[in-house]
Chain A
Amino acid sequence: MSFAIEAVKLKKQFKKTGYKNILSWRKPSVEALKGISLEVKKGEIFGILGPNGAGKTTLAKILSTLILPDSGTALINGFDLYRHPKEIKKFIGYTTSEERSFYWRLTGRQNLSFFAALYNLSNNQAKERINYLVDLLALKKEVDKPFMNYSTGFKQRLSIARSLLYNPQILLMDEPTRSLDPLSRLRLQKFVKQELSGEQKKTILLATHDLSEAEYLCDKLAILSQGKIVTIGKLGEIKEKLEGKKKFHLKLKVESDYVFKQLLKMNGVCEANIISYINELMTLEVTLSGEEFISSVLNRLVSERVSIFACTPKELSLNEVFEQVVN
């Protein structure tokens, strides 16, 4: 299968700056990427998830040809990063949350016209495309006003419009919803999911530290921590990989908290928390070291003459997955 993006053992170090290193001949460096390999299928939304400083932006910048890796390489639509940067630029659109990447004294339309020329669009093509994008991203109200008067949401929409000017097959989105209010964020996420991915079938590499955004948007995820991919796969697969820990919600009828103390001592129980205890009805969240322990736990409870009203497995949230992976 040919992939839209293939990264192979990408490594990148940056020299540390600052007054402490001003006199040192060999400046100390920080490793931003420590051998990143990943594959993104065509039409997929691939999330790069990680805390600040994990290396997400460095990876996005390398894939967009803005910086060169120290070693390793990447293929974008089969074109090598080192040998074919010009061809790669024809396939990719790059969106950042960087507001300063526009000319503030020009209007949105003047900005888009200028960048359209840089993307090799003729005057007529540019006009047509800009009008289409203005409608698509609901920019009509603001597009003829100076960029400096735009709200953060409009600035971000204009940034997406710019990256779509020449209808690229691959979009590299570096924290596109950062600093947006919840409503604007939700609108933009829906636009990415329904329009860009659903309708236009674009391949999207999304770097984000917003877990709910990644959970909602991404078909596949790579979790980055300190320049390394800690885990990669579909969200379900990642959850399965995680040490086999399983959570269950139990609803029991008990006369005292004696059962709860007994439960903590049972084989396979890692953790148990009382969620509620009203009129002898106790709701518990129990974490087991494996799914197989649930039957023995239930048998023990029955033998203790506890009435079990419900036992439901609980899916791990992305927050929990992320916390476990990064830590």
Chain B
Amino acid sequence: MIIQNLRKVISFVKKDFLEAVSYKLSFFMQIGSIFFSIAIFFFLSKVFGQVISKELERYGGDFFSFVLIGLAFTSYYSLGLTSFSSTIRDAQLKGTLEALLVTPTPLPLIVFGSSLWGFFYATVRVVLYLLIGAFFFNAKLMSNYLPAGFVLLLTIMAFCAIGILSASFIMVFKRGDPIYWIFGSASTIIGGIYFPIFVLPPFLQKCAVLLPITHALEAMRLLLLKGCTFETVWPQIRLLIVFIVILMPISIAAFKYAVKTAKREGSLIQY
């Protein structure tokens, strides 16, 4: 059973890889765009970096390195939020969902398998972000990779829990997903991707605490920019675990309910 499911997951990744590389130009242009987005923030940091360096002391004081971590891990946050819903919507639009659903493969495995290539690709992007930032633009990163990897795993799980909730809405309503709208917008504005949350008004700082991305980025920056230990980022790790424990069961229950509703209404394969 486990081996069969593993083979299925590998088949999804292989299929998505073959599809992705069949669009050769797009594949290489996406990689190229990473270089340009890093360059933009590198030159912005030259202009504005000194102005907010006081607020960045907690993270080593370098605005470029600060924003590089934000940019790199935004890939995971947007992917976690959107990959499940876009997987379903993509398969509905392409017309492949029906063919997938008649196979003896449970829907959660189809959704998970179809999303996995995105996470692999995001990992390549994150590594490229960090490598290009470090080698070409002199970003100061610490080699705290093991705890950073653990935080990343928790971060992905927390984002995925929200993503599954978002997919449940897409499954029933097809378009107009309030979860992505709320979490996506809030995380971009007040989650601390481009600037530290200390510069926000106190009310918004309190709101930011309710978002997993705030704690994920905080932990990641302390580990990779300041070289802090695992114990130092334990409060953030604990909060990420709380998010997962609360959100994951709610998301899975919502997803099961959405599948049942869509099957009953006969709208599972409609878009």
Chain A residues within 8 Å of B, Cβ to Cβ: 12, 14-15, 58, 61, 64-68, 70, 86, 89-90, 92, 94, 96, 98-103, 105-106, 110, 113-115, 117-120, 122-123, 146, 162
Is A118's CB under 8 angstroms from B19's CB?
A: no
B interface residues, tally (CB under 8 Å): 31
Q: A89-B104, A120-B104 are in contact. Are A103 and B98 (CB under 8 A)?
A: no
Residues of A within 8 A of B264 (CB): 67-68, 70
Is B19's CB under 8 angstroms from A114's CB?
A: no
Asked if B100 CB lies within 8 Å of chain A CBs, one says yes
Contact of A14 among B14, B99, B102, B266 (CB under 8 A): B266
Is B104's CB under 8 angstroms from A100's CB?
A: no
With A and B bound together, what is the CA distance between A285 and B62 in angstroms?
A: 97
Residues of A within 8 A of B266 (CB): 12, 14, 58, 61, 67-68
Least distance between B152 CB and chain A CB atoms (Å): 28
Q: A103-B15, A115-B99 are in contact. Are A90 and B104 (CB under 8 A)?
A: yes
Residues of A within 8 A of B99 (CB): 94, 101-102, 115, 162
Most chain B CB within a 10 A radius of its CB, from A14, A118, A119: A118
> Could you jot down 10 A-B contacts, CB within 8 Å?
A61-B266, A68-B266, A89-B103, A94-B99, A100-B94, A101-B95, A101-B98, A102-B96, A105-B19, A113-B11
Asked if B101 CB lies within 8 Å of chain A CBs, one says yes
Residues of B within 8 A of A162 (CB): 99
Residues of B within 8 A of A65 (CB): 101-102
Asked if B231 CB lies within 8 Å of chain A CBs, one says no
Is A15's CB under 8 angstroms from B102's CB?
A: no
Q: Residue on B with the closest CB to A120?
A: B4
Q: Residue on B with the closest CB to A70?
A: B264
Residues of B within 8 A of A58 (CB): 266
Q: Residue on B with the closest CB to A86?
A: B104
Q: Given contacts A66-B268, A117-B11, could you give 6 more A-B pairs where the C-beta distance is less than 8 Å?
A: A61-B266, A66-B263, A67-B263, A105-B19, A117-B10, A120-B4
Contact of B102 among A89, A106, A113 (CB under 8 A): A89
Q: A58-B266, A117-B11 are in contact. Are A103 and B96 (CB under 8 A)?
A: yes
Least distance between B13 CB and chain A CB atoms (Å): 11
Residues of A within 8 A of B125 (CB): none
Is B22's CB under 8 angstroms from A66's CB?
A: no
With A and B bound together, what is the CA distance between A98 and B106 in angstroms?
A: 22
Residues of B within 8 A of A100 (CB): 94-96
Q: Residue on B with the closest CB to A67?
A: B266
Residues of B within 8 A of A118 (CB): 8, 11, 100, 103-105
Residues of A within 8 A of B269 (CB): 66
Is A117's CB under 8 angstroms from B94's CB?
A: no
Is A114's CB under 8 angstroms from B98's CB?
A: no
Chain B residues within 8 Å of A, Cβ to Cβ: 4, 7-8, 10-12, 14-15, 18-19, 22-23, 94-96, 98-106, 260, 263-266, 268-269
Q: Residue on A with the closest CB to B21?
A: A105
Least distance between B267 CB and chain A CB atoms (Å): 8
Is A66's CB under 8 angstroms from B96's CB?
A: no
How many contacts between A and B, using CB within 8 angstroms?
86
B-side interface mostly: helix
Q: Residue on B with the closest CB to A88?
A: B104
Is B103's CB under 8 angstroms from A119's CB?
A: yes
Is A94's CB under 8 angstroms from B96's CB?
A: no
Least distance between B168 CB and chain A CB atoms (Å): 17
With A and B bound together, what is the CA distance between A34 and B95 in angstroms?
A: 27
Residues of B within 8 A of A105 (CB): 18-19, 22-23
With A and B bound together, what is the CA distance between A67 and B267 in angstroms?
A: 8
Least distance between A18 CB and chain B CB atoms (Å): 13
Q: Residue on B with the closest CB to A65?
A: B102
Residues of A within 8 A of B98 (CB): 66, 94, 96, 98, 101
Least distance between B240 CB and chain A CB atoms (Å): 33
Is A14's CB under 8 angstroms from B104's CB?
A: no
With A and B bound together, what is the CA distance between A12 and B264 in angstroms?
A: 9
With A and B bound together, what is the CA distance between A267 and B8 in angstroms?
A: 71
Least distance between A89 CB and chain B CB atoms (Å): 4
With A and B bound together, what is the CA distance between A119 and B268 in angstroms?
A: 21
Residues of A within 8 A of B94 (CB): 100, 103
Least distance between B261 CB and chain A CB atoms (Å): 10
Residues of B within 8 A of A98 (CB): 95, 98
Most chain A CB within a 10 A radius of its CB, from B99, B260, B263, B264: B99
With A and B bound together, what is the CA distance between A105 and B16 in angstroms?
A: 10
Q: Residue on B with the closest CB to A62?
A: B266
Least distance between A73 CB and chain B CB atoms (Å): 14
With A and B bound together, what is the CA distance between A177 and B235 in angstroms?
A: 63
Is A66's CB under 8 angstroms from B101's CB?
A: yes
Least distance between A99 CB and chain B CB atoms (Å): 8
With A and B bound together, what is the CA distance between A66 and B107 in angstroms?
A: 11
With A and B bound together, what is the CA distance between A73 and B64 in angstroms?
A: 62
Least distance between A145 CB and chain B CB atoms (Å): 13
Least distance between A143 CB and chain B CB atoms (Å): 15
Q: A61-B266, A120-B104 are in contact. Are A106 and B18 (CB under 8 A)?
A: yes
Residues of B within 8 A of A123 (CB): 7
Q: Residue on A with the closest CB to B3?
A: A122
Q: Residue on A with the closest CB to B20?
A: A105
Is B8's CB under 8 angstroms from A117's CB?
A: yes
Q: Residue on A with the closest CB to B10?
A: A117
Q: Residue on A with the closest CB to B106?
A: A86
